[in-house]
Amino acid sequence: MRATEFLLATEKETPADAVVISHQLMLRSGMIRKLAAGLYTWMPLGLRTLRKVEAIVREEMNRAGAQEVLMPAVQPAELWEETGRWFQYGGELLRVKDRHNRDFCIGPTHEEVITDLARNQLSSYKQLPVNLYQIQTKFRDETRPRFGVMRAREFIMKDAYSFHADEASLQITYDKMHEAYSRIFTRLGLDFRPVLADTGSIGGALSHEFHVLASSGEDDIAFSNESDYAANVELAETVAPAGERPAATAELASIATPAMTSIEDVASFLKASPAQVLKAIVVRGEHTAEKAEGEPAPVVLFLRGDHQLNEIKAEKIAGVASPLQFASDAEIAAIGGVSGFVGPQGIQAKCYVDRSAAHMANFICGANAADTHLTGFNWERDGELPEVRDLRNVVAGDPSPCGKGTLDIKRGIEVGHIFQLGTKYSEAMKAKVLDENGKDRTLVMGCYGIGVSRVVASAIEQNHDDNGIIWPDAIAPFNIGIVPMNYHRSDVVKEATEKLYTELSAAGFDVYLDDRDKKTSPGVKFADMELMGLPHRIVISDRGLEAGNVEYKARRNGEAQDIPLADILDFLKQQIG
């Protein structure tokens, strides 16, 4: 591609509303342009990378035996009513009425549509397993779309759905998808980790996320330093402290702590560490099968003062409202507590204590009286030990739940997610096949997503410097950039340039030739190429050609070096591989 025939759209200024680096660089390099909040046009430069990502995803899905389909973006409400999600999904589901006043949505995901296809198409266990995927435009009406294509409203996703006669078959396909995803992200040239994940609202038994590691990631990932264990902090289990709880040695005492409602204030006032203070969090309750009547009672959660509540773990407790809601001062008062001074003694509510907090001794806690804390509190001696649960986020240095090593925590961007869905959708939609004995069997399902457009942004988050993007070879919009010096005045340079451009293109490389005239300085051309992230740069000049050389520079780490023109094709083949 020649610069003069390309819709080059580089910009010097960083757009004001772009916060994360990938968003800034995608705008500045001219990969995308904003149409409206969360809606972006992919410009020629950006689309080249997007299509390369799609192609790798497609190849590996096909290799893993999945078959490509294409489902409509617009979906009838009836199917979503069958699974109940028409009512549950909330504002992210863009609902629309057609000209006959029938309800539809713009698909944020396709479980309903594919399960409908499966129940119509699959009738016998002999047709199983089947794994169907599509690469398609999705829409989620995010409240606050941000970070460019990282969290856009309209985006491109590869979503796959597998159907099985039993869990064992699902596990085999799940493992294949795990492998395929690892191959995909490896081929994309990304530093990634598959991590155990919460199955969340999609439901199901087992789930892994694939994260691109980058400091700007929205997720915390916990890794063992001695094993392959990796899990989203949302899910990572904390291990109960080893050994017996320390003995009760201090006297229980009540102490005035006027207006000291934070752990930090109390600890500093009492010259203790936050780890010696018991944190109490009162959350709203929810009806359970046993307690289905009246106002649901609040629930009290106790943690060590230096630990953070893991909301997902808390939401899984029966009787706790999901999503988590904090109780009001009045609700706290109603169970005998005082907001800011809640403790175990005398509180009239179901309580849970985190594994680490259950191991505390001689600690400080609220007295359930205004401006008062207790010191020297000990479980069992001074108050009943509540039911023990894993309630907190793991922290760096925690022992790994796999039993090997301790945990380290890094930030990641979720780019893939695989789920064992089980029968959640097939049950609701009556998707069945006949088994060997001619009996109905509900299909067992898996689903497997990759945020294709998000992958592009994540790759930039992980691969950039002050001058711009540094593309991995596999997804660079152009592999090679050529800057000819004096192209419009030197016949020698022009001839060598054209010959090399033709030769490299014929060898299968995507070549970008900056043939702009002298009004654009070499410095501007170099800066544009660095901003656009082209991995390999060649400069052709009269002086170089006199010595039979061109100048080569790698975007990632390069010092410029002279390479004989005669060797440059082989040299590049070696570099790009």
63 in contact with a copy of itself (CB under 8 A): no
Cβ of residue 532: shortest distance to a copy of itself, in angstroms? 15
The DSSP element (H or E) to which 329 belongs, if any, is: helix 329-334
Exposure b/e, 387-402, CB count within 10 A at least 16 = b: ebbbbbbbbeebbbbb
When the beta carbons of 94 and 275 are compared against a copy of itself, the nearer one is 94
Amino acid at 315: E
Angle at 265 between CA 264 and CA 268, to 5 degrees: 80
Determine the Cα–Cα distance for residues 125 and 164; give it in Å rounded to an integer.
8
Determine the Cα–Cα distance for residues 532 and 470; give it in Å rounded to an integer.
8
Q: Which stretch binds a copy of itself (CB under 8 A): 97-105, 165-173, 388-396, 550-558?
A: 97-105
Region 76-95 residues binding a copy of itself, contact defined as CB under 8 A = 76, 91-92, 94-95
When the beta carbons of 262 and 520 are compared against a copy of itself, the nearer one is 520
Amino acid at 363: F
When the beta carbons of 140 and 355 are compared against a copy of itself, the nearer one is 140
Q: Where are the beta strands (DSSP E) in 331-403?
A: 350-354, 363-366, 372-377, 387-389
Q: Which stretch binds a copy of itself (CB under 8 A): 71-79, 298-306, 345-353, 358-366?
A: 71-79
When the beta carbons of 251 and 517 are compared against a copy of itself, the nearer one is 517
476 in contact with a copy of itself (CB under 8 A): no
CB distance 542 to 493 below 8 Å: yes
336 in contact with a copy of itself (CB under 8 A): no
Cβ of residue 554: shortest distance to a copy of itself, in angstroms? 27
When the beta carbons of 69 and 309 are compared against a copy of itself, the nearer one is 69
**Which residue from 3, 53, 106, 222 is in contact with a copy of itself, where contact means CB under 8 A?**
106
Cβ of residue 457: shortest distance to a copy of itself, in angstroms? 15
370 in contact with a copy of itself (CB under 8 A): no
When the beta carbons of 6 and 571 are compared against a copy of itself, the nearer one is 6
**Which residue from 111, 154, 209, 220 is in contact with a copy of itself, where contact means CB under 8 A?**
154
DSSP string, 440-499: EEEPEEEEEEEEHHHHHHHHHHHSEETTEE---GGG-S-SEEEEETTTTT-HHHHHHHHH
Cβ of residue 25: shortest distance to a copy of itself, in angstroms? 18
524 in contact with a copy of itself (CB under 8 A): no
Determine the Cα–Cα distance for residues 122 and 163; give it in Å rounded to an integer.
9
Nearest to 324 by CA among 274, 414, 369, 391: 391
542 in contact with a copy of itself (CB under 8 A): no
256 in contact with a copy of itself (CB under 8 A): no
Q: Which residues, including other chains, have CB under 8 Å from residue 215's CB and lie 6 or more apart? A: 411
Determine the Cα–Cα distance for residues 23 and 33; give it in Å rounded to an integer.
10
**Which residue from 12, 13, 16, 99 is in contact with a copy of itself, where contact means CB under 8 A?**
99
113 in contact with a copy of itself (CB under 8 A): yes
68 in contact with a copy of itself (CB under 8 A): yes
When the beta carbons of 235 and 476 are compared against a copy of itself, the nearer one is 476
428 in contact with a copy of itself (CB under 8 A): no
Peptide bond into 15 cis (omega under 30): no
When the beta carbons of 5 and 293 are compared against a copy of itself, the nearer one is 5
9 in contact with a copy of itself (CB under 8 A): yes
Peptide bond into 274 cis (omega under 30): no
65 in contact with a copy of itself (CB under 8 A): yes
Q: What is the DSSP letter of 303?
A: E
With CB under 8 A as the rule, give the number of residues binding a copy of itself.
Answer: 49
Nearest to 28 by CA among 449, 394, 469: 469
Q: Which stretch binds a copy of itself (CB under 8 A): 117-125, 184-192, 389-397, 536-544?
A: 117-125
**Which residue from 14, 17, 19, 74 is in contact with a copy of itself, where contact means CB under 8 A?**
74
Packed helices 452-462 and 44-63: angle between N→C axes, nearest 10 degrees = 110
CB distance 277 to 365 below 8 Å: yes
Determine the Cα–Cα distance for residues 9 and 32; give it in Å rounded to an integer.
9
**Which residue from 71, 255, 297, 334 is in contact with a copy of itself, where contact means CB under 8 A?**
71
DSSP string, 295-338: SPPPEEEEEETTS-B-HHHHHTSTTB-SS--BPPHHHHHHTT--
When the beta carbons of 73 and 361 are compared against a copy of itself, the nearer one is 73
Amino acid at 258: P
Q: Which stretch binds a copy of itself (CB under 8 A): 33-41, 365-373, 402-410, 569-577?
A: 33-41
Distances (CA, A) of 339 to 307, 331, 487, 514: 19, 9, 75, 67
Cβ of residue 71: shortest distance to a copy of itself, in angstroms? 5
Region 129-148 residues binding a copy of itself, contact defined as CB under 8 A = 130, 132, 137, 139, 141, 143
CB distance 106 to 94 below 8 Å: yes
117 in contact with a copy of itself (CB under 8 A): yes
The stretches of 74-110 forming alpha helices (DSSP H) are 77-83, 85-88
43 in contact with a copy of itself (CB under 8 A): yes
Cβ of residue 470: shortest distance to a copy of itself, in angstroms? 24
Look at the block and give the residue holding tokens 């109905």. Answer: 440
Cβ of residue 130: shortest distance to a copy of itself, in angstroms? 6
Amino acid at 12: K
Residues in touch with a copy of itself (CB under 8 A): 5-7, 9, 33, 35-36, 39-44, 47, 50, 65, 67-76, 91-92, 94-96, 98-99, 104, 106, 113, 116-117, 120-121, 127, 130, 132, 137, 139, 141, 143, 153-154
